[in-house]
Amino acid sequence: MQSTGASSIRHLAEIAGEDWSHIARVLRILELPSPIRDFLRCHPDPLIVKKFHLRRLLELVHLGDADLQFSRFREVLTLIQT
């Protein structure tokens, strides 16, 4: 939003050509703890990262508590890798 000068999520959605609710959901992912975001950004295997789709990441965000988020993230990662 800073780089485009957009004043709201709806304005940013117009610029991006996306639905505002999708933009809002994507921005909610930024609420995840930085170690989780860093793992997903830097992991060398794109197939594993791809398994953490938007819905799955939002489920983590909705847990609220960082300890719960880390715990569930590890559970999902274990399921994906087996």
Q: How many structural domains does the chain have?
A: 2
Tell whether 11 and 36 lie within a shared domain. no
The boundaries of the domain holding residue 3 are 1-31
Q: Are residues 36 and 75 in the same domain?
A: yes
The model's pTM is 0.79
Are 75 and 41 found together in one domain? Answer: yes
Same domain assignment for residues 41 and 52: yes
Based on the fold, state whether residues 50 and 78 are members of the same structural domain.
yes
Residue 13 shares a structural domain with residue 39: no
User: Is 21 in the same domain as 46?
Assistant: no
Q: What is the pLDDT, as a whole number, of residue 63?
A: 96
12: which residues sit within 8 A by CB, 6+ positions away?
Answer: 1, 4, 6, 20, 23
By C-alpha distance, which of 40, 42, 20, 21 is closest to 30? 40
pLDDT tens string 3-56 = 677 888 999 899 889 999 999 999 999 999 999 999 999 999 888 899 999 999
